[in-house]
Amino acid sequence: SDYWVVVPAAGVGKRMGADRPKQYLPLLGRPLLSLTLRNILSWPGLAGVVVALSEDDAYFSHLPEAKHPLVHRVVGGVERADSVLATLNYLATREAGETTVLVHDAARPCVALADIEALLRADPVALLALPASDTVKLAAPSAASGGGEPEPRLYVEQTLDRNSIWLAQTPQRAPLGLLHSCLRRALEQGAPVTDEASALELFGHAPQLVPGRGDNLKITHPSDILLAETILRLRYA
């Protein structure tokens, strides 16, 4: 039941507005990617990790995890999905198509081992996800707006049925061969692929939703850092 983990970490973190890519911002004094890799390296049954990094990454080689024998690195791509594809191209040359792959964002350092175990017990195609707790609105710009405003005014087009809304997290799992071909074909078609599940869905492979928890947050905005530090402090205390 060995599996590989793929970590896209080639982004620049535009929304963070920091002086360095967000995967290297310090949390509790350690770079985010270092914490995420340390977490992954503690998961039982791990066969290896492939990290996708930007071509001019100047930070990775300084992380203690960079020298770990299970950690491999590849050069990522323009979008997150291109970075994931680069890791799968690498894995496909050395592992069988049935190999289980978990794709996990560098920006999610807090995922709990119990959730990883639940995902590993789930269907071969599955993802961690959170049932929506807020009421969810579908937004549409009004026909009247658009004149000279920096951002168009948005209005509610529809309220979605909260009971059928789930927020996708990572890890997301699939067999290597299936994920590789679905992702490659989705990108060839120019489909929007913001997670692995969407590439699988496109070709009829409905992923199983595995209930995760809210503390598996994705570091996106500066305010996420304090929250993540609190979660990590409790977890590793």
Which CB sits closer to ligand C5P, 2 or 49?
49
* Triad 154, 201, 181: Cα angle to 5°: 125
Q: Is 128 helix (H, G, I), strand (E, B) or coil?
A: strand
Cα separation, 122 vs 129, whole angstroms: 13
Is residue 52 within 8 Å of 72, Cβ to Cβ?
no
Contact between 178 and ligand C5P by CB under 6 A: the answer reads: no
Least separation in angstroms between CB 60 and ligand C5P: 12
Q: Which is nearer to ligand C5P, 19 or 149 (CB)?
A: 19
65 three-class SS: helix
Cβ-based nearer residue to ligand C5P, 87 or 100: 87
Binding-site member from 3, 4, 5, 9 for ligand C5P (CB under 6 A): 9
- DSSP state at residue 194: S
The piece of 6-14, 136-144, 151-159, 184-192 that touches ligand C5P (CB under 6 A) is 6-14
Q: Which is nearer to ligand C5P, 55 or 144 (CB)?
A: 55
The window from 105-113, 123-131, 148-156, 199-207 that contacts ligand C5P (CB under 6 A) reads: 105-113
The conformation of residue 206, written as its DSSP 8-state character, comes to P
CA 18 – CA 221 distance, rounded (Å) = 10
Site track for ligand C5P across 37-56, x = CB under 6 A: ---------------x----
- Tell the burial category of 92 from Cβ atoms under 10 Å away from its Cβ (0-12, 13-18, 19+): middle
Instruction: Write down the residue that tokens 């509790």 correspond to.
Output: 28
Residue 80 binding ligand C5P, by CB under 6 A? yes
- Taking CB under 6 A as the binding criterion, the range among 61-69, 72-80, 146-154, 199-207 that sits at the site for ligand C5P is 72-80
Residue 16 within binding range of ligand C5P, rule CB under 6 A = no
Nearest residue (beta carbon) to ligand C5P: 11
Q: Residue 84 contacts by C-beta under 8 Å, 6 or more apart in sequence? A: 6, 8, 52, 103, 183, 196
The C-alpha atoms of residue 23 and residue 37 are separated, in whole angstroms, by 11
Tokens 């658009």 map to which residue?
Answer: 146
Instruction: Give yes or no for residue 220 binding ligand C5P (CB under 6 A).
Output: yes
Piece of the chain touching ligand C5P by CB under 6 A; list 75-83, 123-131, 147-155, 160-168:
75-83
Number of chain residues interacting with ligand C5P (CB under 6 A): 17
Closest approach of Cβ 119 to ligand C5P, in Å? 18
Our CA angle for 71, 81, 99, nearest 5°, is 50
Residues at the site binding ligand C5P, with contacts judged by CB under 6 A: 8-11, 23, 52, 76-80, 83, 105-107, 218, 220
